[in-house]
Amino acid sequence: MVDMNLNRLRAWPAYIVFLVMTASFLICPALCWSEYDYVDINNPFLRKIPIAIPLFKTMAKSRSEKRLSEKASDLLSETLEFTGYFKMLDRDAFLVDPEKFNITALNINFQNWTSIGAELLITGSLLVKKDIIDIELRLYDTFKSKLLVGKRYRGWINDQRKMIRRFCNDVIFCLTGKRGIFDSKIAFISTGSGNKEIYICEFDGYNPIQKTHNNNITLSPAWSCDGKWIAYTAYKKGRPDLYIEHLEEKRGFVVKKKGVNITPAWVPGKFALAATLSFSGDPEIYMLTGTGKIIKKLTNKWGIDVSPSWSPDGKKMAFVSNRSGTPQIYIMDIASGNVKRLTFQGRYNTSPSWSPNGDKIAYCGAEDGEFNIYIISVDGNDPLQLTFNEGDNESPSWSPDGNLIAFSSSREGPCRIYVMSAYGTDQRSLLALPGEQTNPRWSPGIVSN
Amino acid sequence: MRKKLWIGLVLLLVIPGLLCIASCAKKAVKPDTVEVQAEAARKAAAKEKLARQQAIEKQAAREKMFARNMFINENIHFDFDKYNLLPLAQQILQRKAEWLRNNPDVSVIIEGHCDERGTNEYNLALGDRRAESAKTYLINLGIAGSRLTTISYGEELPVDSGHNEVAWAKNRRAHFTIE
């Protein structure tokens, strides 16, 4: 599976022609978007939906095909489980022999599934011809005996992961009315090569790739809102300069003013970003064009002003300032320039990350020398601690659907990337790599690849 | 017979005379030797003086090197999350200013560093402030700002990789290097 990405890249032109993911609505499902009540949006992680995903059926009985089916059904399970919405039912508890049971609604005895507690059922079948794979996937509501989503995909075997992901996006859209996160990526800093460099992996930690080879110190990756550009700070020329680079094409811009050029954050919907520059002798946040030219100075207060994070509508900016004597989070209304302090608890609150839903800000707060992740309403109410007594926890970053938060933690010794629900539940390690991993930044929902 | 006696007498006188002349000639050489010795002594003295001078110069150079190394090696330190200059830091900076006045051709880089605690991003700005604090202090002591550059390394380059207060205190520093 590891070399899949390369193959996919090589096969790219053919891939378009080939209509790889012919997501045909062959099995026309009931109109799904009227049924968002499956997942409780207020706290989807309180009660997980029990779901059964039996092994996909294969037409041929070849061993390789069977292994492929196993891999595909496991991948589907893991991908959906990652969201935190579902409770995966143990396949050993299933009453139906996957070899024998039929995968279409007409022939499914839903009682076999409701009796083991499954509220949802996903059946699949898989057909391999040479390098081409056909996958049929169906999501059923077992209590209503109803088909919710039915799709068929055709493509290269190597694109199997992509097909499964696309189906998962459809499942999540059907159940929540929101787009899934399965096309998103996570950028982070890793010291695996001996230096801090930017790596990018898929939403679930799969396929981490080293993106920069600067051989010095590289920090603070920031995704543009279309996912095509990344801005970061690096000491390529011995000083902390700001680099703005296109992820696919070899082009970019540099901001290399005297002092620091740090903490970039792209303005939603625009080719522009906010960043802290200290050429004036004091670190202030400026608005820059995507090409690195100063549009205007946003903050104007002696002391430190860093780490901007934009509201989803781009009208407000959260940032860190020590204007009160300790680092605290403030919110600036861009049109009026008005600034109001958001955090009052504790003497060290940094790393604001504005939620994609717009109502909350995640941040890192220190109490008694321990750093933990908190969220707070944008009106300053209900600060809520999400991590407890497990090393230092820093750099929160929201998933594009606002359901998950990636962060770094030293709970197992070296710093690694972890993911949890927006309520602090389901905390787990995202990936295992040599060195230390910090500073995760979740991409927007759609990333070119 | 008498003649022989005379000759004998003359010889008796002349030979010692000759001998005397010969010895006198030898004696004329003797003062020369003294001069050589004096010269040698003089030379030795000069050499010694030179050596002493060289030693002094060496010492001076050593002291100069020592001062230079002191300038480079002596960091100033800060409290956690602070960039104000503590009394000891001010004393050290005064010494540094003196050295800079004595070495007017030298330009320096002031690096600002933080301990590992807290956010990398915030620490980059904090390191910048620390280096700027030191720079401003030196400017106020009369050092030209054009000779002073600052770089913040945030928490990225600790001198002590420990995870305790001793290590953190060492790492919260401004470090000076010569350009």
Average pLDDT, chain A: 89
Confidence of residue A45 (pLDDT cuts 50, 70, 90): low
Q: What does the pLDDT look like over A135-168, one tens digit per residue?
A: 999 999 999 999 999 999 999 988 999 999 999 9
- CATH code of A185-442, in short, is 2.120.10.30
Residue A283 and residue B129: Cβ atoms within 8 Å?
Answer: yes
Q: Superfamily for B76-178?
A: OmpA-like domain (3.30.1330.60)
Delimit the domains of chain A by residue range.
Answer: 4-176, 185-442
Q: Is A299 on the interface with B (CB under 8 A)?
A: no
Interchain CB distance below 8 Å, B129 and A304 = yes
What pLDDT, on a 0 to 100 scale, did the predictor assign at position A18? 41
Is pLDDT above 90 for B10? no
**DSSP 8-state symbol, A114:** H
B150/chain A closest Cα distance in angstroms: 7
For residue A3, name the pLDDT band (cuts at 50, 70, 90): very low
pLDDT on residue A5: 38
pLDDT digits (tens, 9 = 90+) for A358-402: 999 999 999 988 999 999 999 999 899 999 999 999 999 999 999
pLDDT at A187 over 70: yes
Task: List pLDDT tens digits, range B85-144.
Answer: 999 999 999 999 999 999 999 999 999 999 999 899 999 999 999 999 999 999 999 999
**B92 SS3 class:** helix
Give the homologous superfamily in CATH for domain A4-176. TolB, N-terminal domain (3.40.50.10070)
| Cα-to-chain-centroid distance, residue A107 | 37
Residue type, A208: P
pLDDT value at A41 more than 80:
no
pLDDT higher than 90, residue B32? no
Q: What interface predicted TM-score (ipTM) does this complex get?
A: 0.86
Q: What is the pLDDT of residues A303-359, one digit of tens each?
A: 999 999 999 999 999 999 999 999 999 999 999 999 999 999 999 999 999 999 999
Strands A305-310 and A316-321: antiparallel
Is residue A290 within 8 A of residue A273, CB to CB? The reply is yes
Q: Check residue A368 and give its pLDDT.
A: 87
Query: What predicted TM-score, i.e. pTM, was given to this entire model?
Result: 0.85
Q: How far is CA A113 from the centre of its chain?
A: 32
B95 is written with which tokens?
A: 């010494």
pLDDT tens readout for residues A22-36: 444 444 444 454 455
Yes or no, beta carbons of B124 and A320 under 8 Å apart:
no
Model confidence at B11: pLDDT above 80 = no
What is the model's pLDDT at position B8? 58
Could you say which of A281, A306, A326 has the minimum Cβ distance to residue B132?
Answer: A281
Q: Looking at beta carbons, which pairs linking A297-306 to residues 24 or more positions away fall under 8 Å?
A: A298/A274, A298/A332, A298/A334, A299/A332, A299/A339, A303/B129, A304/B122, A304/B125, A304/B126, A304/B129, A305/A276, A305/B125, A306/A262, A306/A263, A306/A276, A306/B121, A306/B122, A306/B124, A306/B125
Q: Are A214 and A233 in contact (CB under 8 A)?
A: no
- How far is A226 from A449, CA to CA, in rounded Å? 12
CA distance A197 to chain B (A): 13
